[in-house]
Amino acid sequence: MSVFDSALEQLNRAAKLINLDSRVFEALKKFEHIIEASIPIKLASGEEKVFSAYRAQHNSWRGPYKGGIRFHEEANLDEVKALAFWMTMKCAVVDIPFGGAKGGVKFNPKKFSPADIENVARGWVEAMKDSIGPDKDIPAPDVNTNAQIMAWMADEFSKIKHKETPGVVTGKPLEAGGIVGRDTATAQGGFYVWQEFLNKKSLASEQVSVAIQGYGNAGYNFAKLAQQAGHKIVALSDSKGGILNLEGLDIEAVMEHKKLTGSVVDFEHADNISNEQLLETKCALLVPSALENQITGKNASKIKAKAILELANGPTTPQADDALFGKGVYVLPDILANAGGVTVSYFEWLQNQENSKWDMDMVQKKLKHSMVSAFDLVWQKHDELKTDLRTACFVLALERLSMAFSRKNLV
């Protein structure tokens, strides 16, 4: 099953459960716009290359399109479509006034110079200039993109439009109109969701063991928050492999090791394991924070975690959801658990639109309110409908999208 097929299956399950209006259902299966483009670049080496670029704009019933852009050599339209679809649902779950979009460039920045990366970033904006804008579609960082790349994109758009337009993207550096707390927002939002789950299960005072797949921004910051709260990080991994120490890992020492060697593998105070073994580690909480389709029908029966918090997009397939739900494993789904990123992106967009500046206290307070409110409503749906938390999230999102559909009288 492709990533987008998995997304449609999730939609189908929730739609059947609430007898969703067929017009809404059919509309949500389609995209309002899909843009494919080529980015011709003269590299620093003098070689000329052309990179494939995509932007999928799924739905704008609730507001402008919003979604990241990833630079990855395996980026493809199916993946981008799935991520755009999930972004529509994510924004509806946390009730922010955006629709879903996603972008990608088939490009591995790790193999190119900073000048080449800047040229690709500016080339993407040139290719998409008529399709993006602060009231139309607002990109953000994703896999292999960062604040610097967003600054280049905002600058290029401003040059093209002959007007300073910082609100065209979010996730920018602070000096370029960014917002405090954006770099840790995905992890922080996920941690608020995890805390609320522990409260619901009356486990808030207990120390739990945590295994994290993906030791990038989201995985590292979640590990810090979990450790500060007294929990024990027993396993970590990146694209090259993983490490395990059931007594607990020193996450800062692991990060220093990763910076020096390029991977968490061979950390001296741990055993090396594969990413597959990490997923099957005995722990209270498993945190997939890497790429899609990691937990599938093939390995779901081997998962020993009591709960899964999805900081990655689409790490669990529908077949795995069925198996996990059947054996009582709670999956705190991506469209809720990792929505802290887009929520703080919304705050950044507001800050740019209002020409204001938010402080950390305001960002954290509003983020916690958004995540806790969304979790409580999802938990109510889960209780009422006797369904898994992912389907409960989709039901909440579909109810809000249906209201937007009715308001706009879309047919």
Instruction: Please give the Cα distance from 86 to 89 (Å, whole number).
Output: 5
Instruction: Please give the Cα distance from 66 to 58 (Å, whole number).
Output: 10
Calculate the dihedral angle through the C-alpha atoms of 337, 341, 343, 347, rounding to the nearest 10 degrees. 160
The catalytic position among 66, 81, 90, 102 is 102
Instruction: Please give the Cα distance from 103 to 65 (Å, whole number).
Output: 11
Instruction: Please give the Cα distance from 311 to 220 (Å, whole number).
Output: 11
Asked if residues 302 and 325 have their Cβ atoms less than 8 Å apart, the reply is: no
* Catalytic annotation present for 102: yes
Segments of 73-183 assigned E as strands: 99-106, 137-141
Which residue in 112, 106, 107, 108 sits closest to 43, CA to CA?
112
Asked if residues 90 and 60 have their Cβ atoms less than 8 Å apart, the reply is: no
Asked if residues 40 and 32 have their Cβ atoms less than 8 Å apart, the reply is: no
Give residue 314's region: left, alpha or beta (phi > 0; psi -120 to 50): left
φ and ψ of 393, to 5 deg: -60, -45
Which residue in 80, 59, 60 sits closest to 71, CA to CA?
80
Segments of 43-155 assigned E as strands: 48-59, 65-72, 99-106, 137-141
Instruction: Please give the Cα distance from 213 to 264 (Å, whole number).
Output: 11
Task: Render 215-251 in DSSP notation, one character per residue.
Answer: -SHHHHHHHHHHHHTT-EEEEEEETTEEEE-TT---H
The DSSP symbol for 295 reads B
Q: How many helices (H) and strands (E) does the chain have?
A: 14, 12
271 forms beta bridges with: 244
Residues forming the active site: 102
